[in-house]
Amino acid sequence: MTPTKGISPLLKISTILLMLYCIIAGFLLEVPKLEIIHESIRNMYYHVPMWFVMFVFSFAGVVYSLLYLLKGNREYDINAASCMLVATVFGVLGLVTGMIWATYTWGEPWSGDTKQTMTLVCLLIFLAYFVLRAAIDEEEKRAKLSAVYSIFAFSLIIPLLYIIPRQDPTSLHPGSEGNPAVSRDDADSRMLMVFYPAVIAWMLLSVWIVKLLNWYQRLRLRILEREAN
């Protein structure tokens, strides 16, 4: 299999175009002038989609783990690990962009906000997942144990992520009244014109990265098998 096979050119072209739009329009188009936030609202095009990516891809990783346990196909395990890696990287990026944003709007990079803490906990779990994977040499054993771990962890952090913070009235993040994301009523329509494409752009980029990671992993396994023979 060649490096580029399996990744459709359509995905690549649309990712590049949307990413360019997200960066150029994100920095140049007009945004509403508001107290405290000012121009930093542009971070919404980067910080929020990164958080979406972390959520969607960690969920995908758990689904792949579940499929692995049910079907026992090695492909699912490779996919699960790649999705988790992308979720971890974007989780770190989301945390860092959030901290930079918070420095200028909330006054300090870390203010003990519930969602900040929960994200940190999630990242710790993802990192533990990778330590577990790194500690086991046997392929099938690694796949099974890490799948069980990620499913168990995920089932426990659902309440942590989606019930506790949403109802926390002290959270500094917007949306503790029940609506976690942007709604049509309180976001400027000009901003949504950039925000939605930005979300799609980051998602597509992540899919691309996952495919590359899968491809790399398959090659590595093939080389290992050849050496073993």
Point out which residues bind other proteins (CB under 8 A): 69, 121, 124-125, 128, 131-132, 135-136, 141, 144-145, 147-149, 151-153, 155-157, 159-160, 163-164
**Backbone phi, psi, residue 29, to 5°:** -65, 160
Nearer to other proteins, 110 or 208 (CB): 110
Distance of closest approach, residue 114 Cβ to other proteins, in angstroms? 9
* C-alpha–C-alpha distance, residues 40 and 36, integer Å: 9
Distance of closest approach, residue 148 Cβ to other proteins, in angstroms? 5
Neighbours of 9 (CB within 10 A): 8
Nearer to other proteins, 29 or 163 (CB): 163
Q: Which two tokens stand for residue 62?
A: 């758990």
Distance of closest approach, residue 76 Cβ to other proteins, in angstroms? 13
Site of tokens 């906990």? 121
Nearer to other proteins, 36 or 164 (CB): 164
By the 8 A CB rule, do 214 and 80 touch?
no
Distance of closest approach, residue 144 Cβ to other proteins, in angstroms? 6
* C-alpha–C-alpha distance, residues 16 and 12, integer Å: 6
Site of tokens 């899968």? 214
Distance of closest approach, residue 83 Cβ to other proteins, in angstroms? 18
Distance of closest approach, residue 157 Cβ to other proteins, in angstroms? 6
Q: Closest Cα partner for 74 from 177, 223, 218?
A: 218
To the nearest 10°, report the CA torsion of 39, 40, 44, 47: 150
By the 8 A CB rule, do 90 and 50 touch?
yes
Nearer to other proteins, 17 or 164 (CB): 164
Tell me the three state secondary structure of residue 37. coil
Nearer to other proteins, 156 or 181 (CB): 156
Nearer to other proteins, 119 or 217 (CB): 119
